Structure 1
Amino acid sequence: MMQQPRLRSLQQRHETLERQIAVEGARPQPDTGALGRLKRAKLRVKDEMEKLRVSR
């Protein structure tokens, strides 16, 4: 069950990235480079979470 703490950590990171994306997107002139980096990071975290779920 070593995967549970890792999965929980990834879920928290995913939520943090989601909030950061929302904050950046709400700015009058969002930084498209930063948004892209945040979205790619969020996707990597999501992929890793899915790998952990599948390997259970």
Structure 2
Amino acid sequence: MIRVVIADDQTLVREGFALLLSRLPDIQILAAVADGREAVQAAAAIQPDVVLMDLRMP
């Protein structure tokens, strides 16, 4: 199982990635966050395998 955190400031993008990835059997979405600070906090707390992150966000 690949554990994923999604980080993007646009709700539609976050939800879209979550919807697409949730259909894959070996992917587990652990969190979807809206900014860089939340992404760092989630990654530290959850310890995902992958952080899918927008490069330009607050």
* Greater Rg over alpha carbons, structure: 1
TM-score by length of 2: 0.37
* Higher-strand-fraction structure: 2
Question: TM-score by structure 1 length?
Answer: 0.38
